Structure 1
């Protein structure tokens, strides 16, 4: 595979030590340095109840100029799910569904604020099909029909598929199946798209080869906007327990990680995805990374592994 990679968005919060213990100086150094890496056009950033995890004003002042942003409310969604099992845009419980829609109205407001107050642009906003273990396709479709009518300042809405609640093993996120998400999305007259995360799909399938098939299924609809490279492991290791969403690196970037995301599966994923608009890289910092320089080296190692697999 010799075609160039699609433009890349790096998840800044997954890799940043500043999100464990808030360090504005480290974060101020890290964000523009990530955007300066080859092929990187911007960042995935979290939405936490209407704010940057530590200081929304700080983020607006320090977001790198001209960066593309992918806004993900998933950390907030998981917090709300833990507090209320009814919460989510696919909830059959109307109160739980309306609560999730109200939160997304706040996300849309903050996307418009970023568009107005910074030189960055929000390219993507991720939607997640909570609740855990009890979503409903028809209720998701109703939510999508409403959400897509709002002003998103030009950002594209994507359903980010997370591991579904499937029989046979515990789930991490436990949201709707890919078939239900695609069915709901295709039933709505709106330019919605799908986004896949390799690590979350392998957590669901417990089979790295099956992830390639899931990517191909999504690509066949013509609605696959992007694919994030993030690993998981079948065994406990330095990044956490087996089958958890620990944002493991590509195997070639850190062989000690136990990551199932090896070069062959990266190449297969790229081939199955075809010409997507964007790619994502979502990896945790290496154990022991404490400085911006450490983190940049870790991300660069993963980017090099990704390019090498794409050329193989």
Structure 2
């Protein structure tokens, strides 16, 4: 894996006319800490002209997954509905083909992020079956499969993603990793904060995955418990980094409880 930051590049992956992506990519390419991009899979994933030679990318299936769930609530790798699960596997296979094509073009992809949808009805056995199917396909050497946790429904509120609980996902990855070490857990700080409605649950998730030897990635994405120009409290919209004039107040990671309240972390994502 590349050493450095993998930066969420949704805004730098416009499918049509350049709406600023060349400027964004040029700035990222010039930054020595940036090692690659987190690229969204909606339709096809294709290389952009501004991708820096030597970058190592991560492809996330979450945008396309959520778009498809909005149309078909049974869609998902963890769907108990066989048609919905088959559709999600086909979508994952499209991702695999894109990874192979990018590799052939000289663009390195180090990992793919997969998710335990559908919302509100995800099934652990269905997810395990999908994970085994995906692992059996032809992938480039060195590929990492990340099961990224999306906020789950809790006793006191309904989750926005409402996928499988974290403990269930961690157990699934642990079982699969014993057979196939390419499987790891991905933790998104913002989504875990949304689930816990605090800054404590992300750290608990990180510690649990690390203690199990299964932490594959840690993503920093903003979250806020206050209504702002970005929308209602506790929404998964990748709120902007701390310190910007338009950043809403909210939770953020801090190494010590003695530190004063701070603002949300941003959309740059560190890779571990």
Contact map agreement 1:48 1:73 (CA 8 A) in 2: yes
Note if 1:206 corresponds to 2:197. yes
- The answer for the alignment partner of 1:37 in structure 2 is 31
Q: Which runs of 5+ in 1 are unaligned?
A: 1-5, 269-280, 284-298, 307-312
C-alpha change, 1:248 and 1:93, in structure 2 (3 Å) is same
C-alpha change, 1:232 and 1:131, in structure 2 (3 Å) is same
Deviation, 1:255, is: 7.5
- The answer for the alignment partner of 1:103 in structure 2 is 91
Structure 2 distance, partners of 1:282, 1:215, is 18
User: Is 123-132 or 33-42 further displaced after alignment?
Assistant: 33-42
> What are the equivalent positions in structure 2 for 1:1-312 lying under 5 Å apart?
7-13=4-10, 15-16=11-12, 19=14, 22-24=16-18, 26-49=20-43, 51-52=44-45, 56=46, 59-117=47-105, 119-154=106-141, 155-188=143-176, 189-191=179-181, 192-253=183-244, 256-261=247-252, 265-267=253-255, 283=267
Deviation, 1:254, is: 5.1
Deviations 1:210-239 (A, max 9, x none): 221121111111010111111111011133
Structure 1 distance, partners of 2:56, 2:233, is 33
C-alpha change, 1:169 and 1:219, in structure 2 (3 Å) is same
Deviation, 1:60, is: 4.8
C-alpha change, 1:169 and 1:146, in structure 2 (3 Å) is same
Give secondary structure in 1 for the equivalent of 2:101: helix
Q: Which runs of 5+ in 2 are unaligned?
A: 257-264
Structure 2 distance, partners of 1:23, 1:45, is 17
CA RMSD of aligned residues (A): 2.3
Deviation, 1:74, is: 0.8
Give secondary structure in 1 for the equivalent of 2:20: helix
C-alpha change, 1:127 and 1:282, in structure 2 (3 Å) is farther
Give secondary structure in 2 for the equivalent of 1:38: coil
Which aligned segments of 4 or more residues in structure 1 are displaced greater than 6 angstroms? none
- Size of the aligned set, in residue pairs, is 256
Deviation, 1:253, is: 4.7
